[in-house]
Homo-oligomer: A and B are copies of this chain.
């Protein structure tokens, strides 16, 4: 890729219809390519302050502790758990897919006593299941995934779940990696204690930053806990000291990633969350109708089916992986395979953020029709 004195760098131009990253608006890419500045530069400090306000609007919160962590969504998950959990704590995790399993795994590594409740892939939890778990045992912390990227299921009744959790004096961690800025997320109304997400899904910036927000209740707990959290890198108190007025150095956050995130958030503000949710839902409905015509039936029932991530059953006799490879290689279209038990049964089709457009749905359906026909 180099020559004498010159570097020619090129990448494929993919239509990203997988579980994320989604396509990035050219205005975001352009912003990201502006010159780097220092991590304590007054301009960056102003930018982060404004970015923080924009993050609060998409999380629908007034939480003081609202940041973008210098890592991917998984760093947000680990930060949420690590800042709240101390070794020996009782933690309850609701698992209905891959990312629920990851919540269990990270909690275990942090030394928690973890109990998990499970429901079949594609299903969601009832209030009774959660209530009855809490009646058996007290928990310090309850964690669940709002939008399971591995199955395409949207956990409903979050506000009611939150009430159960708080009635039992536990803290409520909600994974909003695939939901934030794609479907309704109401951190304050739902009284979520920590919600975290990722920059590359419905926000449609490149990956590398993890938006996170912390309720006053969780903030107070973190400030009061005596044992420092095991991770220095993901210490939310240190983030508060850097993002706050003191601008205390903690690590060299990536100015360029913040240029991108900031711009992507401004674009969301310009569109408005309400219009964005409508666009995303409308395009998903068009996708679902088209998939049904192609006998690629959506796997998740309509009442808790995610518009941003659809699992579609592969028609009998079709090799899902060959179709997927053909889409990528011949058409530059990325969709994903199923996860776990669904590996050979479904495709995962994302219509997230900037990727959610009539053009993309039309292109995908027409191409699938050709490949399956």
User: Interface residues, chain A, CB within 8 Å of chain B?
Assistant: 1-2, 5, 7, 9-14, 16, 18, 20-21, 23-24, 27, 29-39, 41-43, 70-75, 78, 102, 105-106, 109-111, 198, 200, 206-208, 228-234, 250-257, 259-260, 262-263, 266-267, 269-270, 328, 334
Number of copies: 2
Smallest CB-CB separation from A252: which chain B residue?
Answer: B207
Judging by beta carbons under 8 Å apart, are B232 and A109 in contact?
Answer: yes
Smallest CB-CB separation from A4: which chain B residue?
Answer: B270
Additional A-B contact list (19), CB under 8 Å, known A7-B267, A9-B263, A75-B233: A7-B266, A9-B259, A11-B35, A14-B41, A24-B35, A24-B36, A29-B35, A29-B36, A36-B200, A74-B252, A78-B233, A106-B232, A109-B232, A198-B252, A200-B254, A206-B257, A208-B257, A233-B234, A256-B260
Please report the C-alpha to C-alpha distance between residue A233 and residue B207 in the assembled complex, in whole angstroms.
15
Q: Name the residue among A2, A7, A10, A39 with the largest chain B CB count within 10 angstroms.
A: A7
Chain B nearest CB from A111 CB (Å) reads 8
Cβ of A232: which chain B residues have Cβ within 8 Å of it?
Answer: 74, 78, 102, 105-106, 109
Judging by beta carbons under 8 Å apart, are A37 and B11 in contact?
Answer: yes
Q: Name the residue among A24, A73, A256, A334 with the largest chain B CB count within 10 angstroms.
A: A256
Please report the C-alpha to C-alpha distance between residue A2 and residue B109 in the assembled complex, in whole angstroms.
44
Judging by beta carbons under 8 Å apart, are B31 and A73 in contact?
Answer: no
User: By DSSP majority rule, is chain A's interface helix, strand, loop, or mixed?
Assistant: loop
Please report the C-alpha to C-alpha distance between residue A142 and residue B250 in the assembled complex, in whole angstroms.
23
Cβ of A71: which chain B residues have Cβ within 8 Å of it?
Answer: 70-71, 75, 233, 251
Judging by beta carbons under 8 Å apart, are A70 and B105 in contact?
Answer: no
Please report the C-alpha to C-alpha distance between residue A33 and residue B10 in the assembled complex, in whole angstroms.
10
Cβ of A16: which chain B residues have Cβ within 8 Å of it?
Answer: 36-38
Chain B nearest CB from A182 CB (Å) reads 16
Judging by beta carbons under 8 Å apart, are B9 and A34 in contact?
Answer: yes
Judging by beta carbons under 8 Å apart, are A229 and B109 in contact?
Answer: yes
Instruction: Choose one: B70, B110, B250; the contact of A230 (CB below 8 Å).
Output: B110
Cβ of A72: which chain B residues have Cβ within 8 Å of it?
Answer: 70, 251-254
Cβ of A106: which chain B residues have Cβ within 8 Å of it?
Answer: 232
Cβ of A42: which chain B residues have Cβ within 8 Å of it?
Answer: 328
Q: What would 8 A/B residue contacts be, using CB atoms closer than 8 Å? A: A7-B270, A16-B36, A29-B33, A29-B34, A74-B251, A105-B232, A109-B232, A206-B255
Judging by beta carbons under 8 Å apart, are B70 and A208 in contact?
Answer: yes
